[in-house]
Structure 1
């Protein structure tokens, strides 16, 4: 039996394990189990499981791939510059724990967008939910596409399996084990998946260090000598100028965690506020260590490639009249021809094409699948929950029995699975090789209105009663943000990076101030 088929057997066995967990956790489950786990989740389980949800396949594949990229053109992160964003994430988690969690627990929310309905009106409630559903659906499917594409290119393409079938089967797997239990199930499965992801990360680092006969400090010194470990970009015009990267990371965390139903439904499933804060801050500290380890792994991958016959080169392209430089490695295949490998493809290429021993391939594929499922199961559950609770008001619906509500929720769950499939196919058509930055840029447009709307509600006492005014503001703000970004990028030397979400949030806040009720 060839190696690809053996690796697929491991994927299948892993999935069977998830189904077994789902069976036991979903017994006697109801809608409250699906939406918020009956508020019985253990804080330490949620904290550990959220690592997998936050990291996903993007961190597992794309973050190590950024280490060898130059800070130009379509590939903005280079070296360890991504870590400045991680520091921003860390600060953002403290803000979420200090401001947003107390608000959600005080109001005893099932959906965090209920706050907008109580603070403003029904229109704000539904707009908040819609922006979340759009944001999470796009973000989750972008992450899913990255992992599905890796499985397709390096395992299934050689077996004659088409991409659409790979995507469909994986989504059906996710659907099966989240169909009944929802949050109650994924709190447990995410913990298992995070464990395998970290085991895979550590296993790969240990193997490469052993193969290169280096200690971790020695490897770091070599990476530093090649300028792969630079943390701080001091070019204020660059997309990754360190101050705006930190600020951007902070606001991305506030929006993509604190204002995101997927992430917060796990936090508010914990029994009380004190334990939920413990969860958030433990999770924040752990991410500092884990992301640094992934960047270190990225550097080791480049060292390993150069040590094992890869031909190093730089591709120079012209983007909008300016040079874009990307580091690539040329690997000779069995026919003797050279194939360029760069960025997101480096880790899977080394792991699955014979450059690493087979046991490392097994560790990699288990880690990859473990990175895939948390980003899909939570998103699918969360968008279903938000649609049912926020848009259909299913919790307060007195016209349906519990059985009818559950049946409706399951149908919606299935519909979103189909939507996820369509979005994955769209990302396949786009085929962007720098998915980590693409996700951050998309988040800047879709989460910005949520950021401005919540900020206006929390930090002002104004009310907005004029019909459709909130809708108009939240639609116009991303459009104006896009126009500003286009003009600045094309007509100045300054490059707007992850601070895009701040600009969008400020425009939303200012627009809401303009349409507020007069005293």
Structure 2
């Protein structure tokens, strides 16, 4: 597929998103619509649309790419099973809490339980976490578009990034969450259709029926799911399960982005139906992505396709195998399907993140929900939206200059350090009922916990006898934060705060 054709498809795609944005927001551009979608979203639209937000282009490219590593294969599915358990805990524990308090920003809970400084600290860690994580997700897809489209036109990488962010800003700044509920539903439809159709197209190219494809993948060297052999390794089953649970609690349950969608439902019952439905779809679609990965490597073996070389580092990059096969080795229809799925996955994540970042900053730092002037200050909200778009632009350029790792690995490394303090803060608020934290020391505790976590991780082989940390590192960070908060707290006078 030629770069011109790809560019034309992207133009049509964004035209559709702009049309949706225009019709959704033309009669309502209020802050209430932007922040909460007027608390009137349909749960089934939220559940389906959240798939696109939760998966992103990283899942679309990096997860299939990692399958070829003999030490990884389908091990990611262990992590996904942990995710599913985490989603259920969120539905039963955190959603009822948020609905009872009727929060706009979920970090308002920390203010009520720990104090203002703790509240600002929690919100700050979210802003850092989501900015870096979303930038990493967008970076990967822009890298693909740059390689297969914009290099042909002589457009520099920085211009591609800036153009992508401007497009996202243009269709989200008016309607915010109310627009995103619908655009993400459409984008998830493209994403799910894309992964299913990709499996069909690759099976056809390998002359495999559905049953034969299942057996081929199962009997291949790429399909090992459960790793019980060596508990010291990062792939060990229990590490992945517990890592999946706690990463989900932090990156979903304590993340304004995904919780903002849940809080737009009419009531707690609909929000929980949304979460349970989302969980079932999430598990199935991730299994499909892993299957795509196995089929891609089988196709590459049969047709002599090498893993593409990263032009910046000169090293093989598994993230690029999927687009390489889709654009250069399959027919025009599979290439279009791949492009739509990749674009949908990435922009569904980034548009949602920009809205959540804007919401958190406006509510948590500008207090726009507490004054009449703030509630009606659309211009201020627009300025914040622009600010985070530019910040994400800078972060992407930084990642482009320094990262040569798989992006999915990068994202979970970042999460272990930036979401861990949120786990500790919420754990103190939820479970330590007889003590009061010294509010002004909370930032110090959180920063020291991050530093200590890094030191432990960097020296894990020396300290723990060849032990390798995986996603469970976030538990260490959260526990260190919790212990630090307990250490700087004092007994509560009178009755404990009830939740």
Q: Normalized against structure 1, the TM-score is what?
A: 0.91
Bigger drift between 411-420 and 461-470 goes to 461-470
Using the alignment, how far apart are the partners of 1:239 and 1:217 within structure 2?
32
The equivalent position to 2:245 in structure 1, one of 246, 250, 259, is 250
Using the alignment, how far apart are the partners of 2:262 and 2:293 within structure 1?
31
2:356 match: 382
What is the deviation of 1:256?
A: 0.5
Alignment partner of 1:494 is 2:467 = yes
1:203 match: 197
Label 1:457 to 1:170 Cα distance change in 2 as closer, same or farther (>3 A): same
Label 1:489 to 1:409 Cα distance change in 2 as closer, same or farther (>3 A): farther
Equivalences for 1:29-68 in 2 at 5 Å?
Answer: 29-68=29-68
Cα RMSD after superposing both structures: 1.6
What is the deviation of 1:394?
A: 0.9
Label 1:96 to 1:467 Cα distance change in 2 as closer, same or farther (>3 A): closer
Runs of 4+ in 1 over 6 A off after TM superposition: none
What is the deviation of 1:218?
A: 1.9
Using the alignment, how far apart are the partners of 1:489 and 1:159 within structure 2?
48
Bigger drift between 249-258 and 457-466 goes to 457-466
1:13 match: 12
2:409 match: 437
Equivalences for 1:115-194 in 2 at 5 Å?
Answer: 115-194=109-188
Equivalences for 1:369-518 in 2 at 5 Å?
Answer: 369-398=343-372, 400=373, 402-403=375-376, 405-464=377-436, 466-489=438-461, 492-518=465-491
What is the deviation of 1:341?
A: 5.3
Label 1:340 to 1:488 Cα distance change in 2 as closer, same or farther (>3 A): closer
Using the alignment, how far apart are the partners of 1:109 and 1:155 within structure 2?
43
Counterpart of 1:432 in 2: which secondary structure?
coil
Counterpart of 2:265 in 1: which secondary structure?
coil
Contact 1:120 1:464 in 2 (8 A): yes
Using the alignment, how far apart are the partners of 1:466 and 1:431 within structure 2?
38
1:319 match: none
Using the alignment, how far apart are the partners of 2:462 and 2:214 within structure 1?
38
What is the deviation of 1:196?
A: 0.4
Label 1:139 to 1:262 Cα distance change in 2 as closer, same or farther (>3 A): same
Label 1:464 to 1:401 Cα distance change in 2 as closer, same or farther (>3 A): closer
Using the alignment, how far apart are the partners of 1:383 and 1:394 within structure 2?
14
Counterpart of 1:238 in 2: which secondary structure?
coil
The equivalent position to 1:236 in structure 2, one of 231, 236, 242, is 231
Counterpart of 1:394 in 2: which secondary structure?
coil
Alignment partner of 1:365 is 2:336 = no
Alignment partner of 1:347 is 2:342 = no
Counterpart of 2:369 in 1: which secondary structure?
helix
Provide Cα deviations, 1:99-126, integer angstroms capped at 9, x if missing partner.
0000000001111000011112111111
Using the alignment, how far apart are the partners of 1:84 and 1:100 within structure 2?
23
Counterpart of 1:194 in 2: which secondary structure?
helix
Contact 1:233 1:240 in 2 (8 A): yes
1:323 match: none
Using the alignment, how far apart are the partners of 1:113 and 1:442 within structure 2?
20
What is the deviation of 1:465?
A: 5.1
Counterpart of 1:79 in 2: which secondary structure?
coil
Contact 2:66 2:293 in 1 (8 A): yes
Label 1:412 to 1:340 Cα distance change in 2 as closer, same or farther (>3 A): closer
Using the alignment, how far apart are the partners of 1:289 and 1:207 within structure 2?
19
Bigger drift between 44-53 and 492-501 goes to 492-501
Label 1:401 to 1:421 Cα distance change in 2 as closer, same or farther (>3 A): closer
1:4 match: 3
What is the deviation of 1:401?
A: 6.3
Contact 1:258 1:264 in 2 (8 A): yes
What is the deviation of 1:15?
A: 0.3
Equivalences for 1:53-92 in 2 at 5 Å?
Answer: 53-71=53-71, 78-92=72-86
Counterpart of 1:464 in 2: which secondary structure?
strand
What is the deviation of 1:422?
A: 0.2
Contact 1:135 1:446 in 2 (8 A): yes
Label 1:224 to 1:412 Cα distance change in 2 as closer, same or farther (>3 A): same
Contact 2:78 2:237 in 1 (8 A): yes
1:103 match: 97
Structure 1 residues without counterparts, runs of 5 or longer: 72-77, 312-327, 331-338
Label 1:221 to 1:252 Cα distance change in 2 as closer, same or farther (>3 A): same
Using the alignment, how far apart are the partners of 2:83 and 2:199 within structure 1?
24
Using the alignment, how far apart are the partners of 1:417 and 1:340 within structure 2?
30
What is the deviation of 1:463?
A: 4.2
Using the alignment, how far apart are the partners of 1:34 and 1:463 within structure 2?
37
Bigger drift between 233-242 and 37-46 goes to 233-242
Contact 1:61 1:344 in 2 (8 A): yes
What is the deviation of 1:467?
A: 4.5
Contact 2:424 2:478 in 1 (8 A): yes
